[in-house]
Amino acid sequence: MEFQLIFKIIIIVGVLIAVYITLRNLDIIKIILIYLKDLLLRK
């Protein structure tokens, strides 16, 4: 019983960390795409 509770907590924390990393990476990708668009349209 205790093992299952610990396992569920670890999975929930892992999912939250994965979502946080994905959102940060999406933000970085968005910034890079905006930068590339500005480079292409400037010429």
| 42 pLDDT more than 90 | no
pLDDT score, position 9 = 96
The Cα angle at residue 29 between residues 31 and 37, in degrees rounded to 5: 55
Specify the number of domains making up the chain.
1
Residues 15 and 41: their CA atoms lie apart, in Å, by 39
pLDDT digits (tens, 9 = 90+) for 2-36: 999 999 999 999 999 999 999 899 988 899 999 99
Q: Would the pTM count as exceeding 0.85?
A: no
Query: Nearest-CA neighbor of 26 among 36, 18, 14?
Result: 18
Give the DSSP letter string of 1-43. -HHHHHHHHHHHHHHHHHHHHHHHHHHHHHHHHHHHHHHHHH-
pLDDT digits (tens, 9 = 90+) for 27-40: 888 999 999 999 99
- Structural domain of residue 36, as residue ranges? 1-43
pLDDT score, position 43 = 62
